[in-house]
Chain A
């Protein structure tokens, strides 16, 4: 049985738009007097339809309910302004919620920023004490972990130098090391791994995995980097406009977050708003037909499209077509281009059917980018019309694909080149 370690219940956080700190003492006094007498707010705009101060109110979070079990590694994703940081701030007690309650069954180590409390004039060692104490460690605890922290930070040589002489990378490494060695039951991190070099980032992720697996610590992690979310988390919450819109499987959450704007459409009529035009009068793609009514294709098939091209210029164009296939996480899988140029006279329209070899692309969700281009002098390609990530398809596995196991693109990529041939010799 897993134990609940964090229960967030009906939590909302309300801000007053444009009014934060912007009240004058007189307004404030009037408002208070009115509130005491049970009158309407006198500073409210007259005749405003809404209730007192609605319209000036903004919910950064609204009715959030989340329960986290002990040892879980939960990722939180969402677009800017979705409320991720506000949620972390509430959990780490930096500010109080407007409604609802948060219960926690353990100490919280929050890293909303690295190096909180670092003082530039103090040495690395002194700052470890300082930072550790701010995060809630006692001096004895820090002493017992000092050597580990210094080793992990890779800054031993400079540990008695004032941190103002440190490079920014060293600064971050030192700060992360302190936080990673905290004795806490719940760790909260807000994109702190975004800094530091690749090697150190990987080291941090490893450390996080280790503390979670070995010591059973709970981790809440906010990031815009889907790869670190994939590596670290086993559950993912998607926030949008202050509400939880998804809570569950990591891949599904990431797909929702990355791909919410294109849903499958059989026929795509292209409007000028979504294309990246190189010039006003060039050949453009006006319509794409997916040749598929469900958006789902069985593994091993080729993608077929039908497209309409309109030449908006008066002169003849010899163009080529390129289709780029991307996985749901945004990685490019493959590209196919037409071999020969297609000629189209000025002010003409034409339809073409295309077939792309996708027989080896593994099951998953994919998007397609269409590029209409010409090859100029010196073999430089010149894009005429680009439709980025406009179409979408889901490739489904058949029962015996990969012996029925789900395909893990992180380790195995997006393309399989058939079965491994084996023969005795």
Chain B
């Protein structure tokens, strides 16, 4: 058979990593449409529409400020407004958690579509991460608005610095980490549904293991501090707070940042590898 430009061969045994990024690129229109579909359909027939993207983290921040900040006194942030301290941590964590939770049910939530038509399966988790970016963008704008407002209120000291420019890189890292862990879970849930129930619980547990609801300073230099430094999300939150709110709210910890980057890369690679293996036959087990 003469091989045309669309030649393709499917065989039973395929070894190694077969990423097919070129094929994913060919389907980029699909990714954008999926992003749009997720975002548009999410807020159809709601009165407030995309405002919900703002209201949710706003309310969580208010609750955190009151419960963890004022009542429990876990926010050791000096002259930085507690409200901003929590909002920065919350929306940052929110993006990561959103990526993780939503990619983790890629196979199960889309089995209907995937069982009927072929497209590069990777399009689905990629579109999830991107659609999370939209609501995150809105929330980030809200954060900046509050930041500017607080800058003009006397009595507070917000030392915004150049590290804030590293924030986009942190977003990329969170996307990769959430994506990686999410697709590992989604690959496993095609066989073992148990994990589906653990995801929600696991994510909130992970949040309490990350300095979102409290300051890392509270750990001092004890064993808890050492453990927290191995959590890849710790330096992300700390660096975000350091950049936007100053040294009183966050910290820069180079060894922890390196550990975090390495863990992220490893988990993302494992995720893609696992996904690659599962995507060919998951329809038989899902």
Contact = CB atoms under 8 A, between A and B. Distances in A.
B30 interface: yes
B9 A102 contact: yes
Given A97-B11, A101-B12, A134-B30, 18 more contacts: A3-B1, A5-B1, A20-B284, A21-B190, A97-B10, A99-B12, A100-B11, A100-B12, A101-B10, A102-B10, A103-B8, A106-B4, A106-B6, A116-B112, A130-B34, A133-B30, A133-B33, A134-B113
Given A96-B280, A113-B116, A21 B191 contact: yes
9 contacts: A21-B285, A89-B283, A92-B118, A96-B280, A104-B7, A105-B1, A116-B116, A116-B117, A119-B37
Interface residues of A, number: 49
Given A4-B1, A20-B284, A94 B116 contact: yes
Interface of A: 3-5, 7, 15, 20-21, 23, 25, 28, 89-90, 92-108, 110, 112-113, 116-117, 119, 121-122, 126, 129-130, 133-139, 162, 185
Given A3-B1, A21-B286, A103 B7 contact: yes
Of the listed residues A15, A96, A100, the one surrounded by the most CB atoms of chain B closer than 10 A to its CB is A96
B10 A130 contact: no
Contacts of A117: 113, 117
Interface of B: 1-4, 6-12, 14, 26-27, 29-30, 32-34, 37, 40-41, 44-45, 112-119, 190-192, 280-286
B9 A119 contact: no
A121 B12 contact: no
A92 B10 CA distance: 10
Contacts of A90: 10
Contacts of A4: 1
Of the listed residues B1, B12, B281, B282, the one surrounded by the most CB atoms of chain A closer than 10 A to its CB is B12
A105 B34 CA distance: 28
B115 A94 contact: yes
A110 B9 CA distance: 17
Contacts of B190: 21
Nearest to A25: B192
A8 to B, nearest CB: 10
A217 to B, nearest CB: 13
A162 B9 CA distance: 39
B10 A121 contact: no
B280 A95 contact: yes
Nearest to B188: A25
Contacts of A99: 12
A105 B33 contact: no
A256 B281 CA distance: 33
B12 A138 contact: no
Given A117-B113, A130-B33, A23 B281 contact: no
Given A133-B30, A134-B117, A105 B2 contact: yes
Given A90-B10, A105-B2, A121-B44, A15 B284 contact: yes
B8 A98 contact: no
A129 B35 CA distance: 13
Of the listed residues B11, B41, B283, the one surrounded by the most CB atoms of chain A closer than 10 A to its CB is B11
Given A23-B191, A130-B33, A138-B29, A103 B9 contact: yes
A105 B9 CA distance: 9
B117 to A, nearest CB: 5
A122 B284 contact: no
Contacts of B112: 116
Of the listed residues A4, A20, A116, the one surrounded by the most CB atoms of chain B closer than 10 A to its CB is A116
